[in-house]
Amino acid sequence: MDSQYENELRTLQMRFIGKIIAVFTHEIKNYIAIINESTGLIGDMMKLGKSPENELPVYLDIIHSIEDYIEKTTGHFRYLNRFAHRMDAPLSSFHINESLEELIALINRFANQKRISFKQGYDNDMPPVYGNPSLLQLIIFTFVEKNIMELEQDSTIIMQTAVADKSVLITIIPNGKRVEGSSAPIPTELLDIIIKELGGNISQDRGKNTVIMLPLTSSTA
């Protein structure tokens, strides 16, 4: 990869990581806000003399909600931690479905802001692949973001994985109408260079679906 593409890649990576952190912190602040209001409500009720014995179901509901959001917060931190560690080594053995699930969890709020949801159709028998999960997530994010920007509200993005002929396929299917005149440009040339370095390719299926192919290789290949 020449220095011009190296620079473009670094810029794209920084933008990607920045977006993930921005969405993540927004999500966590919301979770903390819910926990804050719930604990505050318990305090208010106690100050008003609402006895925990008489109002037990109400207190328990609030406590369960707090527990639920603590669990969600922990889960989200786990996703971010895993996402960060994917950059530890340029090449590693990883599970495609796991890396997709993590990426979708981390950008879900960004899509929800536009009332766009994700549907997952993963092949559960996917073998691990050997490659660069961080660069793969960058490529997938770039296409998913383009769809989020171009699709109308209440659309769906379907994420599929499959195994075919010693390769794995990741298909991104936009399901909904495009906003008229919308066009979110992506650095196609750079993405092609990245995917070729990973030994795969990117193609368009039926003019709108994006198919990312990666070879099934092991670390000893």
Partner 1 sequence: MAHTKVLLVDDEKEFASALAERLQLRNYDVKSASNALEALGIVHSFLPDVVLLDLKIPGMDGIETLKAIKKFDSTIEVIMLTGHGDVRSVEDGMKSGAFEYIMKPVDIGELTLKINRASQKKQTS
Which of positions 44-73 make contact with partner 1 (CB under 8 A)? 44-45, 48, 62, 65, 69
Name residue, tokens 């053995």: 93
Q: Smallest gap, in angstroms, from Cβ of residue 109 to partner 1?
A: 9
| Residues binding partner 1: number (CB under 8 A) | 25
What is the rounded CA–CA span in Å between residue 76 and residue 102? 9
The answer to whether residue 150 forms part of the interface with partner 1 (CB under 8 A) is: no
Q: CB atoms < 10 A from the CB of 100, how many?
A: 24
What would the x/- binding string for partner 1 be over residues 158 to 177, using CB under 8 A? --------------------
Report the nearest approach of partner 1 to the CB of residue 65 (Å).
Answer: 6
* Cβ at position 146, least distance to partner 1 in Å: 20
Task: Quote the CA–CA distance of 96 and 54 in Å, as a whole number.
Answer: 51
Which helix (H) or strand (E) is 138 found in, with range?
Answer: helix 133-150
Nearer to partner 1, 1 or 70 (CB): 70
**Is residue 118 within 8 Å of residue 206, measured between CB atoms?**
no
16 three-state secondary structure? helix
**Order of all β-strands in the sheet with 117-121:** 117-121, 156-164, 167-175, 209-215, 201-205
The smaller minimum CB distance to partner 1, of residues 48 and 221, is found at 48
Q: Contacts with partner 1 in 77-136 (CB under 8 A)?
A: 112-115
Sign of CA dihedral 183, 152, 207, 8: positive
Pick between residue 45 and residue 162 the one whose CB is nearest to partner 1: 45
Q: Please, what is the minimum distance in Å from the beta carbon of residue 45 to partner 1?
A: 8
Judged by DSSP in three states, 168 sits in strand
Stretch that binds partner 1, among 33-41, 74-82, 188-196, 201-209 (CB under 8 A): 33-41
Residues that bind partner 1 (CB under 8 A): 22, 25-26, 29-30, 32-38, 40-41, 44-45, 48, 62, 65, 69, 112-115, 153
